[in-house]
Structure 1
Amino acid sequence: MALLFNLDGYIMLACWVLGMPVGLWAFVHAVRSRPDAFTAADKLTKPAWLAITGVGLVVLVLCEAGPMTLFWVAGLIAELVYLIDVRPSLIEVQGGRR
């Protein structure tokens, strides 16, 4: 029964741990994408997305699960917005998968 009371904590810990490689993937993809693809896809500029994904990754790494949860969840959301919204548009503009 005690495990059920801590289940939410384990889920949050798993999201935090799995969020770091996701954030790294988003940042690396932003680094490798062409700067003109961002404007062609009608998204923010490359430096803006580098800042968003970079800060999101740093926040994920520095803020552990617990009292800093709000900050790392915001960082994870920023990374996921890039991967779900921006990345597919960039792939389409750049001519498919690389």
Structure 2
Amino acid sequence: MFQIHGVLDLIFWVLALGALGLCVWALVHAVRTPARAFAVAGKLKKQIWLLILAFATLFSFAAVVQYLPTLSIFVIASVIGSGIYLADVKPAVNEIGRGGSGSSGPYGPW
């Protein structure tokens, strides 16, 4: 017999897995980015973003292992926090890393 409840559980588990991937991606980028880039870009300190993204990864992992409900406020907040980092902070700090220094030629660094 076809059970819609099982299919919905699978869909929400896949969504939680996607949220975990998003949070891990943001956390790894924040760890690899120098702290100076955050200050130069005018964003929050690196330590604050690492704290936000670490908790976001923790909550989304808890949703994947079904310790938290998939649609809990913590999981939704972790997706929002990671999304803000990836949409606003990541492009700003990436521009600092490649920014207009005179040592770069038309085909790469000299």
TM-score band, normalised by the shorter chain?
0.7 to 0.9
Q: Secondary structure at the match of 1:44?
A: coil
Between the aligned partners of 2:70 and 2:95, the Cα distance in structure 1 is 39
User: Structure 1 residue 75 and structure 2 residue 72: aligned?
Assistant: no
Which residue number in structure 1 is paired with residue 103 of structure 2? Answer: none
Q: In the alignment, which residue of structure 2 is the partner of 1:50?
A: 50
Partners of 1:71 and 1:37 in 2: CA distance = 28
Larger helix fraction of residues: 1
Structure 2 residue ranges without an equivalent (≥5): 100-110
Instruction: Kindly state the Cα deviation for residue 11 of structure 1 after the two structures are TM-superposed.
Output: 4.7
Cα distance in 2 between the residues matched to 1:8 and 1:89: 38
Q: Are positions 1:41 and 2:44 aligned together?
A: no
With normalisation by structure 2, the TM-score equals 0.72
Higher gyration radius (CA): 2
**Partner of 2:24 in structure 1?**
24
Q: Counterpart of 1:48 in structure 2: which amino acid?
A: I
The alignment yields a C-alpha RMSD, in angstroms, of: 2.3
Deviations 1:40-87 (A, max 9, x none): 110000101100111110011113363762211111111111111100
When structure 1 is superposed on structure 2, of 40-49 and 87-96 the one drifting more is 87-96
- How many pairs are equivalent? 95
* 1:15, distance to aligned residue in structure 2 (A): 2.1
Q: TM-score, normalised on structure 1?
A: 0.80
Looking at structure 1, the residues matched to 13 and 75 of structure 2 have their Cα atoms a distance apart, in angstroms, of 11
SS at the partner of 2:98? coil
Distance apart, 1:12 and its partner CA: 3.6
> Identity across aligned pairs (percent)?
29
